[in-house]
Structure 1
């Protein structure tokens, strides 16, 4: 990809927001949806979320300082660093002179202010480059007018404009003049070979503040006169508040008051005006108001509440039974059907069928849910960590019967999100509490609150059936049964869609009162393990090489005209071949066993090989080799952090993550009963990128789904037995009995 000319038209109003900054300067920004390719469509996997595209702004001061606003929520995925890098590259300024500022919710100038689906860089790539290039061209035009020369005679480097006479002007010297010029209709985008910022390691713009404990996160936010709130929610799903006695709670030192909330949420639910993110509880809740978090939480423990079941309690055994019934039943929705799978099975030489199971999982963000709210007659001030700020503001407006224009929402950095903070229940609680108190209040959840009253990854079972005829795969049938459904999304159009003549994907769900939702890498975080384990077993039954089987199937997809297919067979083959080379596939010393996977999700192609050794009969993951094709890598340092974090997260939850319910109540309330991967268990990760000049795609999620499959296949190589159920390691009693692998 060489330098390109962009001739997208912008009017002055779209581009220039203001030219009169305090102290002088130029504020630049334009509607980036306009800058995107004309045929650009939102990703299929997020279509149901009704997200739009977004805007970006540049502020250039008279002294030449450049501030780039980052409008999207930062949850650790690095967009607060990488998105400004893209603008700065085309603007041609020195990165050391760039200041990055988190934008507030601004629906007039910004849209698609959301963190989800690993889509921020993918959607913003063309538009962000256009932002920087257009701003640079305006500054060059201003300099040319000031010198009275042709703009084509000028050059620019790191914010310094030069002419043939050797004269120079800084951006700050011409911002006032640039503000008076027309927005250019055509600009030239850089050739990737000329990049100075993109493709280089840049540290997180917040790293110094993070490591020194500066207030960045919602949990850090404080303001004058603020009180703290701790919410007592139903201890079991399906329960509602019957009555409570707060006399002991009010006696706790530091407790100011005890109130009840929930009426507004009930009215909103009754009116069915709630959008998908609401997750509003039908139960009233008891709220302890205090001078500090300790008093609020101690006061909550002292509340004597009586609860009743409004719907039958559910347990893990019940869910397991329901999911099996769904798999055995006929009430399915068919998402894709190519050919006739039943005919393929009837004519097959051999039919293979396997079932894979996964449990509920909590999100366990390092920072528990919290939010600040202050409601007055004039405005509603909201501050905190949320992945969907616009949806949160809209629902708060509905909840409180106010105009959304009354709401000012500031986003803080998030101490983890993983999909949990897509759901604004904690925002709505804070808003309703603040509306009742009419004073600034911070709602803070404890770890126990977070784990027991959260939004969980749904428990799921997959049944996969394949037909083999004359040594070829002739039929493939995937059935999914999930609690509350699994955001069906792209499941029917992932590999091996298009590679098997007779192919069908069916889904079914059981509606539960346990709240479920997106969990890091939605719908693929478990599916990848199931399908990639199945493909290894399929290769064994066919007498085929495990890697070659996948390569051969991908060959059949080349040249397809099926627009439903989301993955690229060529790019998938590329990562497969490279991971085989880099991992030493099949060449490891005795005692090291390898597992291979290749997977596509969130627009990125990934192949991984896990090296496993047995220690006292227990599988230990020693190393993962990962090859990623995500197009141009904007910030390699940040990309490695995402890739390694995703792999370790995927291994940890596949091997250890388990979450059960008994009579509607979570059995694990804290980390003494819920197992996470430990630092000493994190394997070495070697990452390689496919080098190309294709537009970048996401990295926050794509490496997580394949990790479990790579480990499962390595365990098979080590033990000769398959694992069909997550987690791979089970316990008789947490922390008391040696870890035992679950082998089928």
Structure 2
């Protein structure tokens, strides 16, 4: 008789087993399970009965605590670090805390946004006050039960103790505490007393992630749900003329083929466009199917005809128009100190360089997708949004429904980098659901995601500096970008105020190619260009690059300029730290170093890149990074964020390229668009400045400086000045020109 067994595999285990079909991995998997069979799982906190305390906290009679994390999680770690802030001041054991993703709640939560590296910075005090307030209310309730003053009680690790040594758990008084008046003033802990903040904590979702539990937008499904895939214009500037869906409708699994786009266009044409709107003048063909695979097959079976609506632009067009802008005089001056023109005309020497970077897609690991269900009574939105409040508002206006009828639930995101700030995919899903009146999951293929998305703007920066009597006397930055310019704050970043004659100008070319925020907006390339140029200036002045930076910071001592965004002393500290930790100028033979430092998202970062030449080509071996981001809430998560930013910056500066031809992106998947490979990943050595200053941003600030550090190291190794990214594609040209 055949012996049958029921085997249960997680998604991750299945992928691992399928990858090695020889059977060896399957045996290993079963042995692993066998070894763990007698291990009892920890208490399942999610199955306990909880009493609501406030919008952030629930406490069970057993003293276990559920903390709701309000902000979207895109891998930046806020689902772990934000609850840590509450738990610290609530004074509970971290192992007794269960974390749940909060829904959109504009009444109780502030700034439910993932963007700008601002979640912890904005929540540092409010979330701690939430925890401290709850703790005081619990103490007050216990004191009332004992008939004593709250001043005679203290709380620690979820336990309230009075001066006589009597104890009471949080769960014993949670119902009474929740009914008390909310204290107006509470005392927050001194950082020296922290027991959770500053201690490395594992990602609260790590077990679910590695075992393939449903967390991400793509994982979400419910009974009766259908899938949708969209045909958008293949080139920017085209609109749909006609289509034939006969073959698609005949495919098994395809339910219907419809068009959408009119509601979003009406919304835009009625003047309600805002910064998160990304659309086109074209209708879009949508395949409704029983599975993602069926929808993708239906897409391929549809015959479409497109016509030109606006100009079909190419990268070569953008190159010319941006150069023309730099050469022209149609600029908006963002800051002007002294007299730059006079400084340049009186100079002993004028140095000028132009730096350029291409469009870049976001290429999140999880392509755009979203769930929507529209009925006569309500609109349900579920998925991966970086700006859920904006998404709900836009959908309510697009569908002309009261905002009270729109609910939004946030899932974990497989990457965002700014792409999911733009709610075009949310509105598309909502419009589809409004037409078919069934629950729908819109899913984009990798190719559709890469070729019909939102891109980092291509940009050119021209730096001009004057030298007189061996001193830097003038500095002029002109920036020209496609659908982008230099925002005002960047004009007040370094070296603003350090050079007497200083000017920043910006110009923009309006294009039909959709562009938007990309990890560390603007600064991602501006930092590389600036610090590459400062390396040129240091050589002309015959001083070390680090010393030039420190000299300019010295000029700022005693300067009271409220426009200045960075802190000279904190920048000086990170520079000195990275110099020490990288052994600046003391490397082994054939190891070449490059320095860069930059301020962004309220954080000061300095980096030193080390490269070697292998077969004549530069290889980034190590990046030493010094960071002042204030108090580090979760050192383990912070380390991951810092390293991830550096590696992302290395990969895009070295390899990433993206061009447009006749309105059509020339790369549609990773076979033609190169992200950094594992073998190309350098060692990243991270050091944090220790202080008790409130936290600042960390998800983005380590990316901007690394491009400049690499370019400067490559110059030391090859003598080639790289002014265009990606570096590897332009290295040969630079070497030949020896610029």
TM-score by length of 1: 0.91
Q: Distance in 2 between matches of 1:428 and 1:181?
A: 42
Change (3 A) 1:621 1:741: farther
Q: Distance in 2 between matches of 1:512 and 1:26?
A: 51
Q: Distance in 2 between matches of 1:146 and 1:466?
A: 73
CA positional deviation for 1:109 = 2.0
Residues 282-331 of structure 1: per-residue CA shift (max 9 Å, x gap) = 21000011110111011101110000110010001001001100100100
Residue 225 (structure 1) aligns with: 224
Q: Match of 1:526, SS?
A: helix
Residue 249 (structure 1) aligns with: 248
Matched, 1:633 2:619: no
Q: Match of 1:596, SS?
A: strand
Residue 28 (structure 1) aligns with: 54
Residue 129 (structure 1) aligns with: 128
Residues 225-270 of structure 1: per-residue CA shift (max 9 Å, x gap) = 0010010000000000000001111122211111011111221121
Q: Distance in 1 between matches of 2:110 and 2:605?
A: 30
Residues 420-477 of structure 1: per-residue CA shift (max 9 Å, x gap) = 0000111111001000000011000000011000000000000000011111111110
Matched, 1:266 2:265: yes
CA positional deviation for 1:84 = 0.5
CA positional deviation for 1:731 = 8.3
Q: Distance in 2 between matches of 1:191 and 1:564?
A: 31
Q: Distance in 2 between matches of 1:387 and 1:203?
A: 23
Contact 2:629-2:698 at 8 Å conserved across structures: yes
Q: Distance in 1 between matches of 2:735 and 2:435?
A: 52
Q: Match of 1:503, SS?
A: strand
Contact 2:50-2:58 at 8 Å conserved across structures: no
Contact 2:418-2:519 at 8 Å conserved across structures: yes
Matched, 1:105 2:104: yes
Contact 1:261-1:433 at 8 Å conserved across structures: yes
Pairing 1:313-328 to 2, within 5 Å after superposition: 313-328=312-327
Residue 515 (structure 2) aligns with: 516
Q: Distance in 1 between matches of 2:486 and 2:162?
A: 56
Residues 635-675 of structure 1: per-residue CA shift (max 9 Å, x gap) = 00000010000000001000001000110000001111101
Residue 9 (structure 1) aligns with: none
Q: Match of 1:287, SS?
A: strand
Q: Distance in 2 between matches of 1:361 and 1:85?
A: 35
Q: Distance in 2 between matches of 1:28 and 1:244?
A: 53
Q: Distance in 1 between matches of 2:133 and 2:585?
A: 52
CA positional deviation for 1:485 = 1.1
Change (3 A) 1:517 1:486: farther
Q: Distance in 2 between matches of 1:740 and 1:642?
A: 34
Contact 1:723-1:743 at 8 Å conserved across structures: no
Q: Distance in 2 between matches of 1:342 and 1:530?
A: 22
Contact 2:719-2:735 at 8 Å conserved across structures: no
Contact 1:631-1:694 at 8 Å conserved across structures: yes
- Select between 145-154 and 112-121 the one with higher mean Cα deviation: 145-154
Contact 2:628-2:688 at 8 Å conserved across structures: yes
Residues 177-208 of structure 1: per-residue CA shift (max 9 Å, x gap) = 21232222221111111110000010000110
CA positional deviation for 1:24 = 6.4
Residue 342 (structure 1) aligns with: 341
Contact 1:597-1:609 at 8 Å conserved across structures: yes
Residue 202 (structure 1) aligns with: 201
Q: Distance in 1 between matches of 2:730 and 2:700?
A: 28
Q: Match of 2:559, SS?
A: coil
Residue 496 (structure 2) aligns with: 497
Q: Distance in 2 between matches of 1:647 and 1:417?
A: 17
Residue 675 (structure 1) aligns with: 674
Residue 414 (structure 2) aligns with: 415
Change (3 A) 1:24 1:646: closer
Cα RMSD of the aligned pairs, angstroms, is 1.6
Contact 2:652-2:726 at 8 Å conserved across structures: yes
Pairing 1:383-532 to 2, within 5 Å after superposition: 383-486=382-485, 488-532=487-531
Residue 607 (structure 1) aligns with: 606
Change (3 A) 1:117 1:249: same
Q: Distance in 2 between matches of 1:702 and 1:743?
A: 31
Q: Distance in 1 between matches of 2:647 and 2:737?
A: 20
CA positional deviation for 1:726 = 0.2
Residue 183 (structure 1) aligns with: 182
Q: Distance in 2 between matches of 1:665 and 1:212?
A: 39
Q: Match of 2:658, SS?
A: coil
Q: Distance in 1 between matches of 2:569 and 2:736?
A: 37
Q: Match of 1:101, SS?
A: strand
Residue 141 (structure 1) aligns with: 140
CA positional deviation for 1:399 = 0.8
Residue 653 (structure 1) aligns with: 652
CA positional deviation for 1:739 = 14
Q: Distance in 1 between matches of 2:330 and 2:569?
A: 37
Residue 69 (structure 1) aligns with: 68
Residues 676-723 of structure 1: per-residue CA shift (max 9 Å, x gap) = 100111100111110000000110000000011110010011111210
Change (3 A) 1:299 1:103: same
Contact 2:367-2:445 at 8 Å conserved across structures: yes
Q: Distance in 2 between matches of 1:24 and 1:59?
A: 6
Q: Match of 1:416, SS?
A: coil
Contact 1:24-1:176 at 8 Å conserved across structures: no
Gaps of 5+ in 2: 1-47
Matched, 1:303 2:302: yes
CA positional deviation for 1:500 = 0.6
Q: Match of 2:271, SS?
A: coil
Change (3 A) 1:529 1:651: same
Q: Distance in 2 between matches of 1:579 and 1:157?
A: 39
CA positional deviation for 1:738 = 14
Residue 578 (structure 2) aligns with: 579
Matched, 1:687 2:695: no
Q: Distance in 2 between matches of 1:336 and 1:731?
A: 32
Change (3 A) 1:331 1:486: closer
May I ask how many residue pairs the two structures share in their alignment?
A: 692
CA positional deviation for 1:28 = 2.1
Residue 43 (structure 1) aligns with: none
Contact 1:729-1:739 at 8 Å conserved across structures: no
Q: Match of 1:435, SS?
A: helix
Q: Distance in 1 between matches of 2:52 and 2:285?
A: 50
Change (3 A) 1:742 1:80: farther
Q: Match of 1:544, SS?
A: coil
Change (3 A) 1:370 1:26: closer
Residues 385-442 of structure 1: per-residue CA shift (max 9 Å, x gap) = 0101111111111111111111111100000000000001111110010000000110
Matched, 1:361 2:378: no
Matched, 1:370 2:369: yes
- Select between 539-548 and 528-537 the one with higher mean Cα deviation: 539-548
Matched, 1:92 2:84: no
Residues 21-77 of structure 1: per-residue CA shift (max 9 Å, x gap) = x96634225xxxxxxxxxxxxxxxxxxxxxxxxxxx212233322111111110000
Change (3 A) 1:345 1:738: closer
Matched, 1:150 2:145: no
Contact 2:379-2:406 at 8 Å conserved across structures: yes
Change (3 A) 1:310 1:485: same
Q: Match of 1:260, SS?
A: strand
Residue 559 (structure 1) aligns with: 558
Q: Distance in 2 between matches of 1:311 and 1:451?
A: 21
Q: Match of 2:139, SS?
A: helix
